[in-house]
């Protein structure tokens, strides 16, 4: 299952401190990977949930590529702190944060349109925010539906006119929980993630004639020290150890590895890829995609 703060493994030896340190360690202040030279300079990117977890790494990855990145969070202090950090770490790129709750359709639409007006174009939209609603309760089902599905739907509906003009593309962040039954069942989290995969595939089919691509990235277990798995490690060590032990590669993934997948799919190197669900899970899933 993928769990991360938005911004988600088979042997006893896998839970050793060495493995955990490797999962969470940053190789340099801006992430472990260098610029990939994907031709994204001066592209305008919208990312929801860009201050924490995987979203934070996605913002960093696009800034490394020289893109202009507009990101949002519903917490003003997080946006302010992220703005300062990104501008310091990437002085040659441009990061613009905004306080936006994706469940507020009007505010979300206003943010998209103001971004398009300010930057003239929108080339790439990354729908990253999740409520991470795992517990099976009526309240969580409502929250997950409004955040994960309707938040993504309203974001893309607002961005589509601009993406059609730029012949841009969409990346949605789902999860391996959306395709494999795991410990998150029967709560809302895996259902919403499965819905995102199908929704994105439908977008790819209907938008292809307009030159707009749409793809999904489905992470497996992604370890972030201040994220969901970092908290589970501290508060529910038995659950953490059981999930850690499922990963055939002997570790959880890094958020930068998910971010690099997003950068690739959003670039012209993936110009004939649309409608795919790119699983970034270290072979955690055992099923076959047809």
Q: Which residues are catalytic?
A: 174-175, 189, 193
Burial 58-78 (b: 16+ CB within 10 A, else e): bbbbbbbbbbbbbbbbbeeeb
Closest CA relative to residue 111, chosen from 79, 87, 88, 84: 79
Are 171 and 275 in contact by the 8 Å Cβ rule? The answer is no
d(CA 285, CA 122) in angstroms, rounded, equals 34
> Contacts by 83-86 with C-beta closer than 8 Å and gap 24+?
86/59, 86/60
Q: Which residue has the tokens 């410990």?
A: 183
Spatial strand order of the sheet with 68-73 comes to 94-99, 68-73, 44-48, 124-127, 169-173, 213-219, 277-280
The number of residues in the chain equals 290
């Amino acid at each position: 299952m993928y769990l991360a703060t938005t911004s988600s493994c088979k042997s006893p030896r896998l839970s050793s401190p060495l493995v955990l340190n490797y999962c969470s360690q940053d190789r340099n202040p801006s992430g472990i990977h260098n610029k990939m030279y994907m031709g994204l300079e001066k592209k305008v990117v919208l990312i929801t949930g860009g201050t924490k977890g995987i979203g934070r790494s996605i913002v960093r990855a696009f800034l490394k590529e020289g893109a202009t990145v507009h990101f949002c969070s519903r917490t003003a202090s997080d946006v302010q702190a992220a703005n300062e950090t990104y501008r310091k770490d990437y002085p040659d790129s441009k990061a613009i944060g905004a306080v936006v709750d994706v469940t507020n359709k009007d505010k979300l639409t206003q943010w998209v349109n103001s971004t398009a007006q300010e930057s003239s174009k929108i080339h790439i939209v990354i729908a990253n925010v999740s409520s991470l609603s795992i517990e099976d309760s009526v309240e969580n089902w409502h929250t997950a539906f409004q955040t994960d599905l309707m938040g993504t739907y309203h974001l893309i509906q607002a961005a589509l006119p601009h993406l059609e003009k730029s012949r841009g593309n969409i990346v949605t962040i789902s999860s391996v929980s959306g395709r494999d039954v795991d410990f998150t069942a029967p709560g809302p989290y895996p259902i919403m993630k499965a819905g995102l995969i199908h929704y994105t595939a439908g977008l790819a089919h209907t938008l292809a004639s307009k030159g707009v691509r749409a793809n999904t990235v489905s992470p497996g277990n992604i370890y972030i020290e201040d994220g969901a798995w970092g908290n589970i490690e501290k508060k529910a060590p038995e659950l953490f150890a059981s999930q850690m032990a499922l990963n055939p590669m002997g570790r959880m993934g890094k958020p930068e590895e998910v971010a690099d997948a997003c950068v690739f799919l959003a670039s012209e190197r993936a110009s004939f890829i649309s409608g795919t669900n790119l699983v970034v899970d270290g072979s955690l899933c055992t099923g076959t995609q047809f």
